[in-house]
């Protein structure tokens, strides 16, 4: 299998993404946002998909949960080591869900309540109001539900995720 050698070529390429919609939530600024959907239980939001993409929403309503893929538009630049909200120690950014990533892509699994035209009414949201939406995928337990207990540094800390809110550290 090819290794490093081949890795260099396509890395010069850039890919351009255009938002397909906007995520609306009660969280108007970067502080005080739940750090994961599990901490945003019951909090409602509206995902407004641009009308040109509305046909792509067909059949989505049958799914109780969806994966929102979005761009952390308020996060400027990136760091390879970050101090996550749940820890006091610096961790490699890829071992965290922090927003200051080389490609600032976020994913959240939210509950889909209903769809009206191009508006998705969702619950359990942990996303800042105005966040650009890149993609929507159905959540499928057969694909996405993995039973694992090895969660590295998060092991003793993950239960605090429901209580901790964001601060300004990743601005």
113 part of the interface to its own copies, by CB under 8 A: no
32 part of the interface to its own copies, by CB under 8 A: no
Among 29, 31, 56, 156, binds its own copies (CB under 8 A): 56
Among 88, 114, 150, 168, binds its own copies (CB under 8 A): 150
From the list 29, 11, 20, 7, the residue with the least C-alpha distance to 103 is 11
Rounded least distance, CB 91 to its own copies, Å = 5
2 HSE (CA, 13 A, CB side) = 6
**Separation of alpha carbons 120 and 11, rounded Å:** 35
Among 41, 51, 76, 156, binds its own copies (CB under 8 A): 51
123 part of the interface to its own copies, by CB under 8 A: no
16 part of the interface to its own copies, by CB under 8 A: yes
4 part of the interface to its own copies, by CB under 8 A: yes
Q: How far is CA 94 from CA 2, 66, 90, 120, in A?
A: 23, 23, 12, 30
Query: What phi and psi values does residue 39 have, to the nearest 5 degrees?
Result: -95, -5
If the CB atoms of residues 30 and 63 are measured against its own copies, the closer one turns out to be 63
42 part of the interface to its own copies, by CB under 8 A: no
Task: Indicate left, alpha or beta for 133 from its phi (over 0: left) and psi (-120 to 50: alpha).
Answer: beta
Task: Decide: 100 and 81 in contact? Cβ < 8 Å.
Answer: no
If the CB atoms of residues 30 and 135 are measured against its own copies, the closer one turns out to be 135
Task: Decide: 21 and 48 in contact? Cβ < 8 Å.
Answer: yes
77 part of the interface to its own copies, by CB under 8 A: no
74 part of the interface to its own copies, by CB under 8 A: no
Site for its own copies in 89-108 (CB under 8 A): 91-97, 101-103, 105, 107
**Residue owning tokens 């400027």:** 76
152 part of the interface to its own copies, by CB under 8 A: yes
């Amino acid at each position: 299998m090819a290794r490093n050698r081949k890795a260099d070529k396509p890395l010069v390429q850039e890919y351009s993404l255009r938002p397909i919609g906007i995520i609306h939530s009660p969280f108007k600024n970067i502080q005080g946002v739940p750090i994961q959907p599990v901490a945003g239980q019951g909090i409602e939001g509206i995902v407004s998909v641009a009308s040109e993409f509305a046909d792509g929403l067909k059949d989505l309503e049958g799914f109780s949960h969806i994966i929102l893929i979005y761009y952390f538009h308020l996060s400027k630049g990136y760091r390879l080591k970050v101090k996550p909200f749940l820890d006091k120690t610096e961790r490699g950014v890829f071992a965290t869900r922090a927003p200051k990533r080389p490609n600032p892509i976020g994913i959240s699994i939210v509950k889909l309540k209903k769809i009206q035209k191009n508006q998705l009414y969702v619950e359990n949201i942990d996303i800042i109001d105005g966040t650009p939406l890149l993609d929507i995928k159905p959540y499928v337990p057969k694909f996405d539900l993995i039973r694992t207990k090895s969660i590295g540094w998060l092991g003793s800390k993950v239960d605090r995720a429901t209580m901790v809110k964001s601060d300004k550290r990743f601005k």
